[in-house]
Structure 1
Amino acid sequence: RRSLKRRLMEAFFLLALTSGAVFSLSAYLTYDAIVTHVVRWHMEPILRLLVTAEAGGKDAAQKGLPASEVLAESLRVKWRTGDAIPEDLRPGRSSGRELVRIERDRYALTYRDDKGNDYAVIGKIKDLDDLEEVMLDVLLACVSGSLLAAGLLAWWLGRRLITPLLELARRVKAGEALDGTPLCAREDEVGALARAFAGRERTLRDFLNREQLFTGDVSHELRTPLTVLQGGAEILESRLSGTPQGTDLLPVVERMQRTIASMTATVGTMLLLARKPEQLERRDFDFSALARQETENARRLLAGRDVSLRCCVPETLPLRGNPELAALVLHNLLDNACRYTARGAISLEADAAGFTLTDTAPPIDPGVRARMFERGVRGTARTPGSGLGLSLVQRGCERLGWSVGHEAWEGGNRFHVRFGPWDAPPSGLRPDTQSP
């Protein structure tokens, strides 16, 4: 959820902290090694001198003190031998020199010779204390400078990296053309992304142009022949009326007229689906009248079958939308119900919120139910049809601003369609007045 710029700054700060920690540890180890070397270099000559004076010491007899103590006093160090050495400063079991830090600026260099004699010289080195303070200040300044530099570098790189991405996102969101822009001329990853978007944009533009040409061709090449066929069927019907041959041929002509009218409506609906939702014409229509008309058309499909069809809708149900798309939704749902219901009943119920279509067809398989509104999906391989009906229902509902859902019940299937908030009928509607 964090922006790329923020994550980039966090990464730089983390890198600076890690580098500062490694640098601090390295500086501390280096400083400790240097201090140990300097202290040994400073105190070992004093230790050797005092050990030599302790071994030979008769030159200070006139003062009544051992020579080593006189020398230690003149060198401003403390000199301890044998049991006078504090327990925590005694050298280890092996012979040799050991350096111990007592306080911040006080050190003790202990020594055990081959004969087992213990010696210790304790001194205060003020210069090292000052040097440690200086090095600590330098270390803090380096770490602070590293963090500040990391922040500035992250801010600068963030602007250089994020600004082109934001500009690309703005152009894509606004639908502006990317071809020929400085973004496509860049030689980095942003340029590659911009060129990929531009290529995709060209592909979609070409596809849209082909779809628009196809829509225009369908409108011209199909609607005109259907109009001619409709006119020819009407002329044929008028000439057959009142003739002996008309008794046998008029039902065929009427069926041709219904088929031509259905094809004309289907072509018109397909053209509507090809438009953008905002380009659809919306007008007032009576959903109840539309439902009764589609129900009557569906009854012809059920002729001779043991299936009852019930239409329970208000006397009037005014909506505002596109009646052709509403007829498409109703027609395909009723057609599916009539196609798959072998026996039983089909019921269409509507109110101010929407309508429900219930059938007694075999329940849709749960594995198919998740994809039932996709194009070309059918229940089984033996299921009749092309698998486009429910896909058209879904697309029609999307254009109208409606929602469609399905549920299985113990007797079959139930489809729920809910109208959009702007389709609500006026308050004067009497939803309890229904026509069977």
Structure 2
Amino acid sequence: MKPRSLRWKLVMWAALFAFSASIICVWATWILLRHQELQALDRRLGTDAQELFRDIENFQGVNKRLEVTERFVPLALRDRLVEVRGRTGEILYMSPNLSAPVLNDGIEEFHTREIAGRPVRVGVFRDNELTLHVGADLKDIEQLGWEIARSQVVVIPVVLLLIAAGSWLLGSIALTPIERIRRAAERITAERLDERIPSQGPADEIGRLIDVLNATFERLQGSFEQAARFSADASHQLKTPIAVLRAGIDEVLDQDGMSPEQRDRVTDLLQQTRRLTSVAENLLLLSRADTGRLALRARSFELRKLLEGSVEDAHILGEKRNLSIEAKLPETLPITGDRDMISLILQNLVENAVKYNRPGGRILLSAAKSGEEVSICVGNSGPGIPADRAPHIFKRFYRARGDEQVPGHGLGLSIARELARAHSGDLTLTKSQDDWTEFCLRLGKPIPTPTLNLN
């Protein structure tokens, strides 16, 4: 699932907060309004009760309150539930809408109870010998609550849309400086470490963030150039003594009088100096790639001939292991690039395909062209690369299989990928099954890279 952008998260959180706040406000408003309506109803019931007692007093007098008829009931109480009781609790009057006396539940203060499945507000009033129980149906108040709820069904979505639109607008305004910082930071690469994020506007949080990032890039550039300079200088300094050492060992080998055992030892020393020379040259090449000083001599040439040479190399290298070499190449494969660098990539891939193959195994080299992009795949039989080590195989000095008996320094794939990227392409591990491993190389137009002088 694709992660949501910060702008979308801001909109969703604002909408969620607004929705929750709206529900809470509606609920609180309804509770307060209902309480006020009940208080108003209680006051009306009290007023109506006083009117009933006053009419009975006027028509019957103080000592003649034994007969109560509907003519004493005020018009406001005739739709209510009414019970009038005497001194001993006997029923003197019961409204026609009551089939049985149900209002007397022993509670003196105003309260709400359910009668015949409907909520009723009940009040008790006393006047000398008479007790009046009045019940008022709460359907009007409940209806008011439903009307408020129905109105909010329309209002809340409109409010949410307005808040979402406002949040999106405010988020866009607030995140615009962040987006500019992101685009500026993307332009800062290993080849352009001198780039900085432009600092404009007030010294607010965004301005301070830009200052911190620029200071970080400044330190990073210094550390990177120092490390690259050390790698380049070390490689240069090693080449001369290694060359002198190789020349001395060659002179020793040319001398007569050595025993076969001594000659073998000196030959081993010569082989080790060649490995040192290879490591120094590889480190120099990587340091140039890191600092953008990898200058490519791009020209058009026929890549098929270079691939045929790689197939011949594979035949020679795999002869002792009885390897089967197959090639699937197009008739022509023109390309523009640095022939020597592409040859070095193919050399690394072919050597790895031979080194990590099994006796009697197979190597397949195939190539194809699509538009201006050329793809080359080199596959070999043999043990696959463990899944937990596959993501690290392009790291420098990393040995995927950890086999010290197989010669190598763990730099070949890293160099090959850097050279592929310099040609607007890439090198990837496309398959690593139990008995088959395959790398695919993509090559495009070489990237023009300025030559930088770290000295």
Q: Is the TM-score greater than 0.5?
A: yes
**Aligned twin of 2:429:** 405
Give the 3 Å change call, closer, same or farther, for CA 88–97 of structure 1 in structure 2: farther
Structure 2 distance, partners of 1:409, 1:100, is: 77
**Aligned twin of 2:192:** none
> Quick check: 1:364 aligned with 2:385?
yes
| Contact 2:299–2:337 (8 Å) recurs in 1 | yes
Decide which of 356, 367, 386 is 2:409's aligned counterpart: 386
| Contact 2:103–2:135 (8 Å) recurs in 1 | no
Whichever residue aligns with residue 185 of structure 2, its letter is V
Structure 2 distance, partners of 1:270, 1:168, is: 30
Structure 1 distance, partners of 2:343, 2:215, is: 39
Unaligned runs of 5+ in 2: 83-91, 189-194, 258-262, 370-374, 447-455
Q: For each residue in 1:116-153, what CA deviation from the matched residue of structure 2 results, as whole angstroms up to 9, or x when unmatched?
A: 98857799xxxx99xx99x98xx99xx89x95997898
> Quick check: 1:307 aligned with 2:330?
no
* SS of aligned partner of 1:213: helix
**Aligned twin of 2:335:** 319
Whichever residue aligns with residue 355 of structure 2, its letter is R
Q: For each residue in 1:38-78, what CA deviation from the matched residue of structure 2 results, as whole angstroms up to 9, or x when unmatched?
A: 2234223223324545764899xxxxxx89766656x8764
Structure 2 distance, partners of 1:51, 1:328, is: 118
Decide which of 349, 353, 356 is 2:365's aligned counterpart: 349
Structure 1 distance, partners of 2:100, 2:163, is: 46
Structure 2 distance, partners of 1:281, 1:383, is: 36
Give the 3 Å change call, closer, same or farther, for CA 348–174 of structure 1 in structure 2: closer
**Aligned twin of 2:440:** 417
> Quick check: 1:165 aligned with 2:165?
no
**Deviation of 1:379 (Å):** 0.6
Structure 2 distance, partners of 1:76, 1:417, is: 93
**Deviation of 1:172 (Å):** 3.2
> Quick check: 1:395 aligned with 2:437?
no
**Deviation of 1:271 (Å):** 5.2
> Quick check: 1:14 aligned with 2:19?
yes
* SS of aligned partner of 1:320: strand
**Aligned twin of 2:33:** 28
* SS of aligned partner of 2:219: helix
> Quick check: 1:377 aligned with 2:399?
yes
Q: For each residue in 1:335-379, what CA deviation from the matched residue of structure 2 results, as whole angstroms up to 9, or x when unmatched?
A: 223333463255353443444434444443444345434441331
| Contact 2:427–2:442 (8 Å) recurs in 1 | yes
Q: For each residue in 1:404-429, what CA deviation from the matched residue of structure 2 results, as whole angstroms up to 9, or x when unmatched?
A: 3343567x434242444669xxxxxx
Whichever residue aligns with residue 35 of structure 1, its letter is A
* SS of aligned partner of 2:35: helix
Give the 3 Å change call, closer, same or farther, for CA 150–396 of structure 1 in structure 2: closer
Give the 3 Å change call, closer, same or farther, for CA 77–360 of structure 1 in structure 2: closer
| Contact 2:304–2:332 (8 Å) recurs in 1 | yes
> Quick check: 1:44 aligned with 2:66?
no
Give the 3 Å change call, closer, same or farther, for CA 147–115 of structure 1 in structure 2: same
Structure 2 distance, partners of 1:226, 1:347, is: 35
User: Bigger CA drift: 198-207 or 341-350?
Assistant: 341-350
> Quick check: 1:204 aligned with 2:220?
yes
* SS of aligned partner of 2:335: strand
Q: For each residue in 1:233-265, what CA deviation from the matched residue of structure 2 results, as whole angstroms up to 9, or x when unmatched?
A: 9xx9xxx9xxx99xxx9xx9xx99998996797
**Deviation of 1:31 (Å):** 1.8
Whichever residue aligns with residue 40 of structure 2, its letter is V
TM-score normalised by structure 2 residue count = 0.59
Give the 3 Å change call, closer, same or farther, for CA 394–51 of structure 1 in structure 2: farther
Structure 2 distance, partners of 1:198, 1:58, is: 100
Give the 3 Å change call, closer, same or farther, for CA 289–162 of structure 1 in structure 2: closer
Give the 3 Å change call, closer, same or farther, for CA 118–86 of structure 1 in structure 2: farther
Structure 2 distance, partners of 1:368, 1:332, is: 19
Alignment coverage as a number of residue pairs: 383
Pairs within 5 Å for 1:144-159: 158=171
Give the 3 Å change call, closer, same or farther, for CA 162–311 of structure 1 in structure 2: closer
RMSD: 5.7
* SS of aligned partner of 1:379: coil
Pairs within 5 Å for 1:22-421: 22-50=27-55, 52=57, 56=61, 78=78, 82-87=93-98, 91-94=102-105, 158=171, 161-173=174-186, 177-178=196-197, 185-186=203-204, 193-194=209-210, 196-211=212-227, 213-214=229-230, 217=233, 221=237, 266=282, 269-270=285-286, 273-274=289-290, 276=292, 280-294=296-310, 305-308=320-323, 310=325, 312=327, 317-341=333-357, 343-345=359-361, 347=363, 349-353=365-369, 354-375=375-396, 376-380=398-402, 382-384=404-406, 385-400=408-423, 401-408=425-432, 412-420=435-443
**Deviation of 1:268 (Å):** 6.6
| Contact 1:13–1:151 (8 Å) recurs in 2 | no
